[in-house]
Homo-oligomer: A and B are copies of this chain.
Amino acid sequence: MSNKKFSKLNITPKLLLGAGPSNPNPEVLEAMTQPVVGHLDPTFLGIMDDVHEMLKIAFQTSNPMTLPLSGTGTAGMESCILNLVEPGDTVLGIENGYFGHRMIEVAKRSRANIIPLAFEWGKPVELEVIEQTLKDNPSINVVLAVHAETSTGVLNPIKDIAELAHKYDSLIVADTVTSLGGVDLQIDNWNIDLSYSVTQKCLGCPPGLAPVTVNQASIEKIERRAVPPNTWYYDLLLLQKTYWGAEQRTYHHTAPITMIYGLREGLRLLVEEGIEERIQKHTDNCNALRKGLEIMGLEMLVPNGNNISSLTTVKVPKEINDQQLRSELLKNHNIEISAGLGTLSGQVWRIGLMGENSKRENVFRFLEALEIELKAQGMNVSAKEAINQLA
């Protein structure tokens, strides 16, 4: 056993401009210091009602099954897929990035037949190819797709993919991890059957919960399952029946009380600001960042119009050491940005302006720090002109 002495935490604040977590709103962290009560306390049941109501606003849905799962984003992915998909199903897994690939990996645990359909990372998916695949494989009854691909910065045409899925009698699971609360997302209008997201990106909370929403068509498919899903902890019908959706809430598992307090506050701030205003803010600040980077001579991975307004991917200049630059940004400027993932590792930086962090001043602070670190590696750039044009 260890005899090490452990001291209290004393962490230097950092500006988290990576792919997430983003900095939570200070009000959210403050809400998390509210007194813990029991998971069946009437006060807490009221808080659950608030969270349910506001999550529906965020997802733009009237789905009664809309709730935060007790786990991080991948828990939401796993729960949606493992509840919906059963042995005997045929699943089309659309991949143009790391998280589309992960959906396929998770689906493999369901013992269904999986048809992976890969597109180049960093490019949008091609709708004609998707339609042809659906046509060629009439047994497909579930489609997996990512709305905002966090690994590449590509926004996929999820509304069109959903339309195709339904045209060929499939249900669609959409990953909205990096879009919920920051990018236009309309679950009901776009006919998205299941979707999952996270708290630590555009909702301005710490990581730890996975908001999900499930429509009636999905519930009916889940109810028809021959065997229960692989998971008891994330069994959506059980969770809805005994706790989240119940008239008389009893017990499924002990809810992560403090995290739910935080989510309630994050959602409250979103509703107060207005969801359209929040989305516009993300678009404006993203455009400013992209323009600033281009003025400084850097190149975007994703063209305008296909990009995600909460997450920008920019190519690492050839003469620059990726890893060193990110380390120095963190060490010298207390700014975190993210590396590329998978095939884009070393190729791009991922710069998030999410939720609380989607602010013009953060764009400027980042461009100034980037100038210093690019110069330190011998690249001749200036942030001043970019900032002047954007101010």
Residue interface bits A309-320, CB-to-B below 8 A is 1, else 0: 000000000000
CA distance A37 to B233 in the complex (A): 28
Q: Is A219 an interface residue (CB 8 A)?
A: no
**Chain B residues positioned under 8 Å from A42 (CB to CB):** 330
A54 touches B256 (CB 8 A): no
Q: Which 7 A-B pairs have the closest CB atoms?
A: A208-B256, A230-B230, A206-B258, A13-B35, A74-B253, A78-B233, A11-B34
- A388 CB–B CB distance under 8 Å: no
Could you tell me the distance in whole angstroms from the C-beta of A152 to the nearest C-beta in chain B?
A: 15
Copy tally for this chain in the complex stands at 2
A255 neighbours in B (Cβ, 8 Å) = 72, 207
Complex formed: what's the CA distance from A157 to B53 in Å? 46
Let me know if A271 is at the binding interface, CB within 8 A: yes
Question: Which B residues are CB-close (under 8 A) to A78?
Answer: 231-233
**Are B47 and A9 in contact, with the CB atoms below 8 A?**
yes
Partner of A264, one of B9, B70, B72, B82: B9
**Given known contacts A207-B255, A230-B230, is B35 in contact with A12 (CB within 8 Å)?**
yes
Across the interface, A36 reaches (CB within 8 A) one of B16, B37, B47, B230, namely B16
List B contacts of A124 (CB < 8 A).
none
Question: Is A123 engaged at the interface, CB distance under 8 Å to the other chain?
Answer: no
Q: Which of A23-31, A133-141, A284-292 lies on the face that meets chain B? A: A23-31
CB-contact partner of A1 in B12, B37, B50, B56, under 8 A: B56
Question: For residue A82, which residues in chain B have a CB less than 8 angstroms away from its CB?
Answer: 230-231
Contact of A259 among B20, B109, B208, B231 (CB under 8 A): B208
Asked whether A198 lies within 8 Å of B35 as measured between CB atoms, the reply is no
Q: For the complex, give the distance between the alpha carbons of A377 and B56 in Å.
A: 43
Is the CB–CB distance between B21 and A53 below 8 Å?
Answer: no
Instruction: Tell me, yes or no, whether A88 is within 8 Å of chain B by CB.
Output: no
A39 within 8 A of B: yes
CB pair A232–B32 under 8 Å, yes or no, is: no
Q: Give the bracket for the number of chain A residues in contact with chain B.
A: 35 or more
Do A231 and B232 touch (CB < 8 A)? no
Q: Are B257 and A206 neighbours in the complex by a CB distance under 8 Å? A: yes
Specify the main secondary structure of chain A where it touches its partner.
loop
CB distance from A351 to the nearest CB of B (A): 13
Nearest CB of B to A23, in Å = 6
Task: Decide if A132 is an interface residue (CB 8 Å cutoff).
Answer: no
The answer on a CB contact under 8 Å between A106 and B11 is: no
Q: A11 touching B37 by the CB < 8 A rule?
A: yes
- Interface residues as binary, A257-289 with B (CB distance below 8 Å gives 1, 0 otherwise): 111011011011001100000000000000000
Q: Which residue of B lies closest to A267 (CB)?
A: B6
Query: A254 an interface residue at 8 Å Cβ cutoff?
Result: yes
The yes or no answer to A167 lying at the interface (CB within 8 A) is no
- Contact mask for chain A residues 110-143; partner B; CB cutoff 8 A; 1 contact, 0 none: 0000000000000000000000000000000000
Q: Are B256 and A206 in contact (CB under 8 A)?
A: yes
Given that A9-B47, A14-B41, A206-B36 are contacting pairs, would A72 and B232 also be in contact in the complex, using a CB cutoff of 8 Å?
A: no
Interface string of A68-93 (1 = CB under 8 A from B): 00111111011000100000000000
- Is there an interface contact between B1 and A254, defined as CB atoms closer than 8 Å? no
- Determine if B38 and A9 form an interchain contact, defined as CB atoms under 8 angstroms apart: no
Q: Is B206 in contact with A21, judged by CB distance below 8 angstroms?
A: no
Q: Could you give 9 example pairs across A and B, Cβ below 8 Å? A: A6-B267, A9-B31, A10-B34, A20-B254, A24-B258, A29-B258, A70-B208, A82-B230, A109-B228
Chain B residues whose CB sits within 8 angstroms of the CB of A72 once the complex forms: 70, 253-256
Q: Contact at B254–A21, with CB atoms within 8 Å?
A: yes
Residues on B with C-beta less than 8 A from A37 are 11, 14, 16, 336
**Residue pair B265, A8 in contact (C-beta under 8 Å):** yes
The 0/1 profile, CB within 8 Å of B marked 1, for residues 168-204 of chain A is 0000000000000000000000000000001010000
